[in-house]
Chain A
């Protein structure tokens, strides 16, 4: 069976859009607003979309593989959607990790504050006093 052809204008528009995505991602990394760790998936997305947009034969062949016969650019949408899903899922794991770490930080800060305030007012700790009273028994004093 013969797959349909991608309209030239669609290819040009999609190529420009992919390039724009790559340039924006690059600029965000360069200006330190996006960490490399989180940029990697975006870079991969941009490259895959760029290849599928610019390489018209490749898009038509891929469309043939997955059974899209009438309109190959539909594959572009599908691939883009898949990558956006992957990025979102990745964000969910990052968000989960961040909220776990946030809890740990809050607990650490609260415990440190408690320790600081109890050190600045030693009489607030009745347990320590008997131990210190017992100390003079040592021959060092």
Chain B
């Protein structure tokens, strides 16, 4: 079974090395590909020095475009399992042990690490937390499945989900729309409680004013998306 860790990174030269090391420490069987989203710093060099494969984008595509590059890499490389881990160090690769069994056991095609599903509290600034809640509620309503954290990028996916996302993945702020896509394509989505770390380096790419823009954009996309006839997911292979 071929396993790949996709690590999108934008200006994370301080954190990326540690993330790559931690993935290797968790399971050396994982190939690691870092998608450098046209960083201005030495993210790509830092990742390559720790032995990760590095895909450098020619210009900044945003998180959605960067992650989809990883899914295309996984699809072309015939990987069976993908773990998505952010390059800023807020996801602890050791906690993949909570997500992997759900997908490997066939219970779900996508398993998302949720900050809110468990008892372990997650502190986030007020506005962002409310935004995350509103989006989670909307998606729960549209999919008829209770989801607590639709903005988490900490995910494990199987071949069917890789095939879908290699072909079609939302832009900008993709996790919310992706959750609806998964539902529309009749794949199974599950959540597992994880705890996340405070950001070690850099700052979140989403500021207060932009959150409003993203909220409007994502809600528009999600609502229109529900009226879309879904293509049948391409069979893996």
> Which residues of A are at the interface with B, using a C-beta cutoff of 8 A?
26, 29-30, 32, 35-37, 39-40, 43, 100-101, 104-105, 108
Contacts and interface: CB of A to CB of B under 8 A. Distances in A.
A116 to B, nearest CB: 16
Interface of B: 58-59, 171-172, 213, 216-217, 220-221, 224, 227-228
A40 B59 contact: no
Given A36-B221, A37-B172, A108-B58, 20 more contacts: A26-B224, A29-B221, A29-B224, A30-B224, A30-B228, A32-B228, A35-B171, A36-B220, A36-B224, A37-B171, A39-B220, A40-B216, A40-B217, A40-B220, A43-B220, A100-B59, A101-B58, A101-B59, A104-B58, A104-B59
For the residues of A in contact with B, the DSSP-based class is helix
Given A35-B171, A37-B172, A30 B220 contact: no
A123 B172 CA distance: 46
Contacts of A101: 58-59
B58 A105 contact: yes
A70 B213 CA distance: 37
Contacts of A100: 59
Nearest to B60: A101
Contacts of B172: 37
A78 B172 CA distance: 33
A118 B221 CA distance: 46
A55 to B, nearest CB: 22
The 3 closest A-B pairs by CB, nearest first: A36-B221, A29-B224, A108-B58
A29 B58 CA distance: 27
Contacts of B227: 26, 30
Contacts of B216: 40
Contacts of B59: 100-101, 104
**Could you say which of A36, A43, A101 has the most chain B C-beta atoms within 10 Å of its C-beta?**
A36
A30 B221 CA distance: 9
A37 B224 contact: no
Nearest to B213: A40
Contacts of B224: 26, 29-30, 36
B229 to A, nearest CB: 9
A29 B220 contact: yes
Contacts of B228: 30, 32
Nearest to B62: A37
